[in-house]
Amino acid sequence: MKKSIRPFVIGAVVGSLLTASSAVFADDGIQAIKAMLNKNTKITVNGKAATLANPTLTYDGKTYVYLKDIGKLVGASVNWNTKLKTIEIKTGAAAPGAVAEKVIATYSGGKVTNTEFAKYALFFSIVNPDTAAYLNDPAAKEQFLREYIGYKLLYGPVAGKPLSAEDQNGLTQFMEQYNAYIAQNAELKASNEKAGLAESDVKKFYTMITVALGSMQKKVTDVQIKSRFDQTKSDYNIVSVRHILVTTSDPQTGETVRTDAEALERANKVKGLLDDGGDWNELAKEYSDDPGSSGNGGLYENEQSNAWIAEFKDAANTQPIGTVGAPVKSDYGYHVIKVEKRDTKTFEQLSAEDKLEIKKMIAAEAMSNFMNKELPGKITKIDLA
């Protein structure tokens, strides 16, 4: 039974010509104007999509936008002084409906604003859809902010430096997949534009995280990798097993298939039939709920044991060879297992992928230690209220 593995355009261009109101044409005595009102003109302010109260007017190849509309978007007050016949513009006025920029966190050497964090949260919710629900919890949201600060601190010393060829290739591949995904999702694209999440932001966040994680990996030594292997040698056993899975619920719908007691009773029945010489091929077809092996006698052949869920892996590594073991319970249900072959590996026999996975595990632990032990002392203030 394999582990379930779950993985991890925008910048609109402002091209409108901003001038005074189209009403100025009337003062020039023009009797007829061949102009076009466009209600669908797109406009962004600092990369963030905005909505105009009035349609733009296109005339003679130029686009005109009401000054009052622009004033609202950029936080300026625009009024007409009839007595002085003057357009009066005052900057610094808050635009109606605009979210005020404020600092929500300070740390050693920097700060985080609410708009910056909102962009990061949106980015993360795209690469990991579970994030949105996670951030509904105030405590989880604060922890997420703290981790963001942690990534910023780790990335800080190398920010702005050229990426390695490997990191650049990874960024290129990620952006190709990201942009293709966004292009197919109009609702998500609109959310990005509303939050002002530009492509440059996405590149920055992706690079920050991957470089920070990479810096942790670079600190892992060969001695540490060898030591971790010695502690977990059985994870790298090459094992062949036959098994029949009896589930309690449908893995696709989550609906209950049978109670725990019913599943255990059925699994014990299967074990009894196998102990009496029952044929694995026939019994797997009739009783197994594992689509990955029910059609070939329940066989998983020459698999590295750490590819399996913990309970299945432990049974594969400890159960006597050639014996049908007692039903093993996991989140999937009950497994009836027979180990047919088990070979060990030396450190020298590990693949490059195996060693890289060990390195990543050690680096992840180092990252966790940094986030939980070192980071709190570097944060001076958190205010998400």
Decide if pLDDT at 73 tops 60: yes
pLDDT band at 5 (very low <50, low <70, confident <90, very high): very low
Which of the given ranges, 4-8, 47-51, 54-58, 221-225, has the highest pLDDT on average? 221-225
Instruction: Please determine, for residue 251, whether its predicted confidence score (pLDDT) is greater than 60.
Output: yes
Are the C-beta atoms of residues 123 and 197 closer than 8 Å to each other?
A: yes
Question: Tens of pLDDT along 176-229?
Answer: 999 999 988 888 888 888 888 899 999 999 999 999 999 999 999 999 999 999
- The torsion region of residue 298 among left (phi > 0), alpha (psi -120 to 50) and beta comes to left
Quick one: pLDDT at residue 30?
31
Is the predicted pLDDT of residue 279 greater than 80, yes or no?
yes
| pLDDT reported for residue 179 | 92
**Short-list 275, 159, 256, CA closest to 207:** 159
Q: Which residue has the higher pLDDT, 209 or 98?
A: 209
How many H-runs (helices) and E-runs (strands) does the chain carry? 13, 14
Per-residue model confidence as pLDDT tens digits over 291-305? 989 999 999 999 999
Would you state the pLDDT for residue 101? 83
Looking at residue 4, what is its pLDDT? 40
Residue 1 pLDDT > 50, yes or no?
yes
Kindly report the average pLDDT of the chain as a whole number. 83
The whole-number pLDDT of residue 25 equals 28
The per-residue pLDDT for 69 is 67
pLDDT in tens, 14-29: 222 122 222 222 333 3
Residue 41 is predicted with a pLDDT of 77
247 has a pLDDT exceeding 90: yes
Percent with pLDDT over 70 in the chain: 81
Q: Is the pLDDT of residue 58 over 80?
A: no
Tokens 């001076």 sit on residue: 380
pLDDT greater than 90 at residue 155: yes
Q: What is 238-343's CATH topology? A: Chitinase A; domain 3 (3.10.50)
More confident residue, 57 or 358: 358
Structure confidence by residue, pLDDT tens digits, 307-359: 999 999 999 999 999 999 999 999 999 999 999 999 999 999 999 999 999 99
pLDDT for 193 equals 85
Do 245 and 304 meet the contact criterion of CB atoms below 8 Å apart? Answer: no
Q: Model confidence at 95, in pLDDT bands (50, 70, 90)?
A: very low
Long-range contacts of 132-138, Cβ-Cβ distance < 8 Å, separation of 24 or more: 138/384
Q: What is the pTM of this model?
A: 0.64
What are the domain boundaries of the chain? 24-91, 103-221+364-382, 238-343
Using a 10 angstrom Cβ sphere, with 0-12 exposed, 13-18 middle and 19 or more buried, the burial of residue 230 is exposed
State mean pLDDT over 272-289: 97
pLDDT at 354: 95
